[in-house]
Every structure is written in C-alpha cells, then in structure tokens.
Amino acid sequence: MAQTSICLDYVPDTSDFTETRYIAGRERLHSGVFVTFRPFDIMQRATLLEVRNRTANEVKFLEILIRELTKRVTGWSLTMPAIPSDPKSEQVPMPIEEKYVRSLKPALLNRMLDIVIWSADGGDVPPDGIETSVSSDEFENRIQEMLSQSAAS
C-alpha cells in the first residue's frame, strides 16, 4: 500500500515513503514535470559524497547519479511520442529507465538531481488546483487525467 506523500522535516525509516515535487517548465527548455521519489537520508548522501571524492572521473560519477536517480524515482509525468520517429504521434508515459533519464535535457536533469539526490531544491509551486501531496497510485491517476484533458483540448 502506497503511503501518502507529504513534505516532512525528516526521512522516515520506511521504503514506501515518497515525496512529490513539481518542476515548472522553462520556455524553450522543458515542460512542467511532477516527480515522485523516495528521498535520500543524510547517510546515503554522505556515501555519494564519499564516492564523489574518490572518483576523479566526472562522467563516471554522473553515471552513478543517474543510476541512483532512476532507482529513487517512482513516478513522473514525463511523456514521449508513441512512435519515437514521429514527434506528432500520440503521447505515452515515458518509462523510468536509465536510458530515458540520460536523455533528459540538462536543465531538467539537474533540477531532478538537486531535488531527488541532494534535497537542495524543494521544487516549484504547482499550477493552481494541483496538489503535490499524493500517493503514487493517486499520482499516476492524476497524471493520466491531466493527459486526457490536454488531449481533448
């Protein structure tokens, strides 16, 4: 059973706790995105910093961050064309897989890293009428509803 996602001042010692944040779209860079994730605690972040200090190779460390981000994200509102070669084809949910995380535009990926990995960014205020404190199941339903409404427009 998914736990309701709320913003707490601590990270609960449970693997099913998630938080949801909104990343506002940036004109000509990326659209607005909701992301639901299991937050890191301070010791997990310290471990990543230790790895960073021992890894002189930026590319290798970025690969580690992308792998960890992919493991922590439990839902997002990103979509992609059903037919990749046809950007005008029907939009379908983008799978949460390393190859897709790697393909995110740098501005969006950096925000996700700051929010999910480093907890240095609390995200943006979501559009009116959309709450970010929802469980994973409710989140998926809400995203599907938003996609249906935008397709009907």
Q: Where are the domains of the chain?
A: 19-152
Residue 92 is encoded by which pair of tokens? 């379908």
Mean pLDDT of the chain: 84
Q: Could you tell me which of 25, 3, 33 has the C-alpha nearest to residue 116?
A: 33
* pLDDT number for residue 116: 95
Q: How far apart are CA 135 and CA 82, in angstroms?
A: 26
| Alpha helices (H) in 17-90, listed in sequence order | 42-54, 58-72
Task: Tell me if residue 122 falls in helix, strand or coil.
Answer: coil
**Helix H or strand E segment including 23:** strand 19-23
Q: What is the mean pLDDT of residues 93-117?
A: 97
The string of pLDDT tens digits covering residues 112-128 is 999 999 988 999 998 87
What's the mean pLDDT in 13-21? Answer: 85
**What helix, strand, coil percent values describe the chain, rounded to 5?**
40, 15, 45
